[in-house]
Amino acid sequence: MINQLRVPVNSDSDIVIARQKGRALAEQLGFSSSQLTLIATAISELTRNIVYYAKCGEVILQRDDNGARPGIVVIARDEGPGIEDIERALQKGYSTSGGLGLGLPGVRRIMDEFQIDSALGRGTTVRVKKWKL
Amino acid sequence: MAVPILKQGQYLIATIQSALSDVDLTHLQDALVGQVGKLRSRGVIVDVTALDVMDSYASRTLRDLAHMIRLRGAETVIVGIQPEVAFSMVQLGLTLEGVSTALDLEEALLHLGQKTKRPQQRDKPS
Amino acid sequence: MADLESSFNQLTEMGESISTLLRELVAHLRESRTQLRQEWARRITEAKLLTAMSADEVFNEATAVYDQYVEALETGTFEALQTYARNLSERIIPRGVEIHEVVGIVLLLRDVLARSLFAKFQGDFGKLNRILDAYEPAANRIANTVAVGFVQERERIIREQQEAIRELSTPVLQVRERLLILPIIGVIDPHRARQLTEQLLRGIRTNRAKVVVIDITGVAAMDSNIANHIVQTVEASRLLGATVIVTGLSPEIAQTLVNIGVDLGKMTTVGDLQGGIEEAERLLGYKVVPTEEQTQQA
C-alpha cells in the first residue's frame, strides 16, 4: 500500500490529477463514498489556490495513523506571494482574485483538521486532515 | 477534453464525460453561450452525471453559464448531480442559486418543455 | 488479657485453616450435589422466579450455576463464573428475565447451601462458625459477580438496540411514484443527521423522486446545527432535482429557527404531514377526487 504521494503542481490540469490521486489513496484507506467526495473537493480547492496564486507548488497526500484519529492528510505547499491577512482569507466569501475566492473557509468546513502557515513573499502551506469515521 | 454538444430540436445537450479542467470548463461555457444564439436554441441541458467532484470553480462556471444563457434568451438545466457531490457542494456553500436542476435528461426535457412554452400563435387552432 | 490472647490465637488458626475449611465445604457441596440442587430448584419455583422458563430449563441452568458456584468457591477465581453469568444473561434477557430474579436465585442458593451447612455442623458450633466465616465472603462475591454480569450484558444489549433504532429511525418511504416521505422521530444528533441526509439523497436518486416531504412532527428539540443541517439537506435535494417540503414544525421549533436566524427562504413549509402530501401531489400533477364525485361525473 502506498503511504505517501507527491503531486507537482504547475498548471490547471494538475488540479484534476491531484484530486484523482487523493481520492484513489483515500479509497485504499477505506473512506466512505461521501467522504471521498469531500476529500477530493478539498484537494481541488487547495490545488487551485496554488495554480492561481503561486503558479507552482506541490501537493502531498499521505496516510496518517498518528494523532488521536487515523485518516488522510493533504498538504498543499507553494513558494508564492503568501497571504497577507490569514484571518480575512478564512472568512466566508473573501477573495482577492476577482470573484474566484480562496475556497479556504469551505475547505476548513469540510475537513476535520485545518492548519495554515503563510508568510508574505515566502509562500503558503496548508495542511488538512480528514478522519476516518 | 472537449465536451460534445448535441443539438436536439430547440435544445442543446452537453454531456460531460470525464473530469474537466478549469480550461475545459471555460471552453464549455464559451461554446454553449455562443451556440445558443447561433442555433436559436430555447434551452440548454448540461449533464454532469460523470462528475465526481463539483468544486467552487465548477459550480461558479455552471452558474455563470446559466445566467449568461438566460441573458441570451434561453433556459439552462443542470442534470445528474450525484448525491455525494450535492452533499459536498452544500457543505461548501455552493448551491447553484437561480439555476434549474433535474434528476435526469428526461426530467430536464420535461422541465424545459414547460418553461419555454411560447404563445403558439402560428399553430392552427385545435 | 487472656481473652485477647485467645481471640488472637483463634484468628491465626482461622487464617491458617481457611483453605482447609473451604476444601471441606466444597467436598460437602459436591457430596450433596443432587439433593441440594433439587432443593434449590424447588425453592426457585416456590418463589415464582424465572417463570419465563420451563421446569426443565430451570433445573438445567440450576445445575450449571451450582457447579460453577462450587468451582468458584474451590478455586477462588471468578473469571469462569463471570463468563458463564454473561452467557446466561445473553440467553435469558431476551426472554424477559429481570434483574430481581437473577439476584433472587443466587441469594436462594446462598440460603440453601447455608442451611445445609447448619444441618451438617450443628453438633460443633465453633466449627460451624468458622465454616460460615469462610463461606460468606465467597458467597457474597459470587452473588455480586453474577448480578454485575447480568447488568453489564443488559447494558450491552441496550447499546446495541440504540444503534439499531438509530438505523431504523430514518426510513425513507415511497408513498407514490416519485414521492418520498421522510418522517423524523426523536432526537437528532449530528451523526444521525448526516446519516439521514445520505439516505435521503440516495433514496431520491434510486426512486427518481421529484418531491420529498420531510416531516419533523416527532422531533422534540432542535439546535442551530441541526436546523442548518436540515436546510443543507433541502438544498442538496434541490441540486439533485427534487423539491422538498418540510412539515410539522412545532411552535417551539418555529420559534427556535427564527431566533437563531436560520434562512427559511429556501424551504417550503406546510403545517402538517397531510397538507404536505397534498402539496406534493399538486406539484406532481395529481388531483385527488373523492370516488363519489367521480361516479357522478362519469
Q: Would an 8 Å CB–CB cutoff place A95 in contact with chain B?
A: no
**B116 versus A98: which is more confidently predicted?**
B116
* CATH number of the structural domain spanning residue C146: 1.10.490.70
Number of domains in chain B: 1
Q: Give the mean model confidence (pLDDT) for residues A74-78.
A: 96
- Report pLDDT for C243: 93
From CA C8, how far away is CA C13, in angstroms rounded?
Answer: 9
CB contact under 8 A, B86 and C232: no
* CATH number of the structural domain spanning residue A95: 3.30.565.10
Split at pLDDT 50, 70, 90, the class of B126 is very low
Number of domains in chain C: 2
CB contact under 8 A, B86 and C240: yes
> How far out from the chain centre does Cα C40 lie?
29
- Report pLDDT for C297: 56
From CA C141, how far away is CA C124, in angstroms rounded?
Answer: 26
- What is the domain range of residue B78? 5-115
Chain segment A13-71, per-residue pLDDT in tens = 999 999 999 999 999 999 999 999 999 999 999 999 999 999 999 999 999 887 778 89
Q: Give the mean model confidence (pLDDT) for residues A110-126.
A: 93
Minimal CA separation from B21 to chain C, in Å = 22
By C-alpha distance, the chain A residue nearest B85 is A37
Q: Cell triple for residue C264?
A: 427559511
Given B81, B104, B107, which is nearest C239 (Cβ)? B81
- Report pLDDT for C13: 54
**Same domain? C91 vs C212:** no
**Same domain? C108 vs C152:** yes
Across chain B, what does the average pLDDT equal? Answer: 90
User: Which residues of chain B make contact with C235, given a CB cutoff of 8 A?
Assistant: 90, 95
From CA B99, how far away is CA B72, in angstroms rounded?
Answer: 15
On whether the CB atoms of residues B62 and B99 are closer than 8 A, the answer is yes
Residue B95: pLDDT above 60? yes
* CATH number of the structural domain spanning residue B10: 3.30.750.24
pLDDT means per 10 residues, chain C with 298 residues, are: 53 62 87 89 88 85 86 85 86 85 89 90 87 86 88 86 69 88 84 86 93 90 83 93 92 84 79 92 82 61
- What is the domain range of residue A87? 4-131
Q: Cell triple for residue C286?
A: 395529481
Which ipTM did the prediction report?
Answer: 0.89
Chain segment B52-79, per-residue pLDDT in tens = 999 999 999 999 999 999 999 999 999 9
Residue B19: pLDDT above 60? yes
**C66 versus A94: which is more confidently predicted?**
C66
- Report pLDDT for C95: 84
- Report pLDDT for B20: 92
